[in-house]
Amino acid sequence: MNGLFDFDVEDPQGPDEYPIAVIGDISKNCKACRLGQSTDKQNTGFIFAGPTTARIAILGDMPQVQGTVLSKRLPLAGDFMQELGGWLEMLGVAQEDVFILNVMQCKTSKSKAKDAALRAPYNEEIDVCFPDRALRLMRALPDLEVVITLGWVAAAALLGRTPEPRLKSHEGAWFGTDYLPGVAVFCLDHPREYGKAADARKRGRLRQHLEFFQSEYLRPSTAKIRKVLEIRQAERKANN
């Protein structure tokens, strides 16, 4: 994992791309890995929600069954989206102002049951899907400043898989990543971990994390991260 100041300012993505053009290019049925070939044959290649002008992107791991219905493909749906909506409300951020996407574009189970358990995606599946789809699109977002990751699969895709933190020590912390120079990464657990069984202590830690995000990025009087981002993005533009 990188500290916020540790990543290289040099942009590895090459020529700038227009996000709408990228979405059009990757929103096609994909058979690049076993999931597209067998588990989700009707996949659309890319599932997202939100405006391409967003300053905040939310990166989950994969769509659940509810999000892969042909007539209503969503990166987060049902109880997970309702939970995330509550977090955004606590932050004072409108759901319409964030860009939501996943590391993987297909679910990992053939089951069509609403509550079907999904396994974590394999590394080889992530390696095929993430770089040319979700990562490519995030690099094209012109105003992106912060990516909020949901769960370890999403965090690891941007920060590196090893060493895997113990006791979820990455949660509620800021990082930088060479994959997205000039963009800060803030890690949270996935909304699936905050169902009815979530106790008051777990909810309390979540509130602390959200308050920390708010103070470091959203609140003008204390927004240290925003000031760092302004410096880093100015350096990035100067190098282009």
Read off the pLDDT of each residue in 11-25 and give the average, rounded to a whole number: 76
The answer to whether residue 152 is domain-embedded is yes
CA angle (195, 112, 79) in 5-degree steps:
20
The answer to whether residue 219 is domain-embedded is yes
8-state DSSP, 130: T
The answer to whether residue 5 is domain-embedded is no
Cα–Cα distance, 186 to 60 (Å, whole number): 12
Cα–Cα distance, 123 to 233 (Å, whole number): 31
Backbone angles phi, psi at 175, to 5 degrees: -140, 165
Is 72's pLDDT higher than 70?
A: no
Read off the pLDDT of each residue in 94-116 and give the average, rounded to a whole number: 85
Total number of domains in the chain: 1
The answer to whether residue 10 is domain-embedded is no
Tokens representing 235 are 């350096």
| Cβ-contact 128, 32 below 8 angstroms | yes
Is 1's pLDDT higher than 50?
A: no
What is the reported pLDDT for 235? Answer: 77
Cα–Cα distance, 177 to 160 (Å, whole number): 9
Residue range(s) defining the domain that contains residue 204: 19-239
Q: Is this model's pTM higher than 0.85 or not?
A: yes
Q: In sequence order, what are the residues at sequence separation of 6 or more whose Cβ sits closer than 8 angstroms to the Cβ of residue 204?
A: none
Residues 161/121/206/209 CA torsion (nearest 10 deg)? 40
Cα–Cα distance, 224 to 217 (Å, whole number): 7
pLDDT, tens digit, for every residue of 200-225?
A: 998 999 999 999 999 999 999 999 99
Q: Which CATH number goes with the domain that contains 123?
A: 3.40.470.10
CA angle (135, 90, 139) in 5-degree steps:
15
What is the reported pLDDT for 68? Answer: 61
Using DSSP, state whether 95 is helix, strand or coil. helix
pLDDT higher at 22 or 45:
22
